[in-house]
Copies of this chain bind each other. A is one copy, B any other.
Amino acid sequence: MIFSRNGLTGLALGAAVAVGAATVASAQSAPLSAQESDPNVMGWMQGFPPPADKLITQPDSNYFSFPKLRWSVCHLREFLPTEEISRGVGAPVPLDYPTPAEFANLARQIDALTFMPMNGDTPMTWEQSLYANYTDGMLIMHKGEVVYERYFGCLEEDGKHAIMSMTKSITGLLGEILVAEGVLDDTLLVRDVIPEIGDSAFATATVRQVMDMTTGVQYSENYSDPNADIWVYSRAASPLPKPEDYEGPDGYWEYLQQVKPDGNHGDAFHYKTINSDMLGWMISRVTGKAVTDLASERLWRRMGAEMDAYQTVDGKGVPFAGGGVTAGLRDLARLGQLMLNGGEINGERLFPAEVVETIAAGGDQSKFGGFATIPNGSYTSQWWVFHNDHGAYAARGVHGQTIYVDPTAEMVLVRLASFPQAQNGFIDPTSLPAYQAVAEFLMER
């Protein structure tokens, strides 16, 4: 069966996991701990061939459900067609580190930091939080220097990890760069940029509304409804051959052409992945480049990246601008540092400072809501803004992915994870207070 609604098959991954679906049918009560579910402990895909019960295959199994998820987040390209985000062929620019002795001392101090989880009554140490959150990779930079770096589970320093909806923030950053450079006019209507959007509900939204996800577009995620939009989107997005009787849209962009309205544009923030793909299409239209190539040209080739990244594609080769990127931990730290530095890295300016200023200033808080762990937040240019004392903002992706930028503490924190449940609302209570604690520690440094 090519499309399954019985849980999320890998084929549905494209759209589904990016929008926060729970993929934890088998883990709703007492999931395995981080240590128990470590893919090396589980033995996934070990042996030549692996035993049948240790195989994770795309056709036959739910490869993106916990605990298989903990292996698959490092191996997406082995399941799906992908496009490269090239770093080019030159030498990477190594990140700065303290002396080994200082680095080890900082690690000890950070591991021992304590914080109170949201709504909790028992303090937790930083190191405990790493396991509570099924962390695969954690890297913290302070004032441009790596002060903490650890790898777990499937991730090693030369490996890569799915970043899920943090992809949106790369798409949004590219969009904001183009706006700042006058290449993309965010006051235009979508139909002025993409005439063939036709009578899609997107047609009359502004580019800015798409960037900020305040469009009024229908996109239902009722997983028990076989006709829910999420399933139509998944089928459209699948790079695999369509069933012979398939009559739906083929690819992300055909899907976008038939979106129905739901409410008024501009009224409220609604976190719907299709906005990111709409933005991706507009970016490609005005630049004549795939978002993969643009991310390579504007970011990966110029920030000293040490590894290529990659992005999943639909059946027509269109990269999944809403969730398809896989990248290395240190390269994501470079991206965060680029944001913290207002568009500069390694002594080079990659884009105007106003790009970061616009993102860090945040969106309209009055239109934001429904995220209990981000009570004062906003969303703009596909970035989450906390509006906290430190002016922090973040890229976020399901199952615990984040690039967290704290301008006050001059801290960039990147976490890659494979938390059993998709929604970050489950992960924030033991994450956001931990980030604040380490920020305060670093400010005393």
A residues contacting B by CB (< 8 A) are 1-2, 45, 48-50, 55-60, 75, 77-84, 86, 88-92, 157-158, 160, 239-242, 244, 251, 253, 281, 284-285, 288, 290, 306-308, 310, 313, 315-318, 328, 330
Contact: B313 with A78, CB < 8 Å?
A: yes
Q: How far is the CA of A328 from the CA of B318 in the complex (A)?
A: 23
Which residues on B sit within 8 Å (CB–CB) of A90? 92, 306
Which residues on B sit within 8 Å (CB–CB) of A78? 81-83, 313, 317
Q: How far is the CA of A241 from the CA of B59 in the complex (A)?
A: 4
Of chain B, the residue at the smallest CB distance from A80 is B81
Of chain B, the residue at the smallest CB distance from A11 is B241
Which residues on B sit within 8 Å (CB–CB) of A281? 48
The DSSP consensus for interface residues of chain A is: loop
Contact: B83 with A77, CB < 8 Å?
A: yes
Determine which of B60, B89, B157 lies in contact with A158 in the assembled complex, contact meaning CB atoms within 8 Å.
Answer: B89
Contact: A307 with B89, CB < 8 Å?
A: yes
Contact: B241 with A88, CB < 8 Å?
A: no
| Given pairs A57-B315, A307-B308, 17 additional interface contacts (CB within 8 A) | A1-B241, A49-B253, A49-B316, A57-B317, A58-B241, A58-B315, A60-B315, A75-B317, A77-B81, A77-B82, A77-B83, A78-B81, A78-B82, A78-B313, A80-B81, A81-B81, A89-B306
Of chain B, the residue at the smallest CB distance from A86 is B158
Pick the most buried of A45, A82, A241, A244: most chain B CB atoms within 10 A of its CB.
A241
Which residues on B sit within 8 Å (CB–CB) of A79? 81
Which residues on B sit within 8 Å (CB–CB) of A50? 316
With contacts A77-B83, A81-B81 taken as known, whether A317 is within 8 angstroms of B91 at the C-beta atoms is: no
Q: How far is the CA of A1 from the CA of B242 in the complex (A)?
A: 9
Q: How far is the CA of A315 from the CA of B242 in the complex (A)?
A: 18
Q: How far is the CA of A336 from the CA of B240 in the complex (A)?
A: 36
Of chain B, the residue at the smallest CB distance from A46 is B288
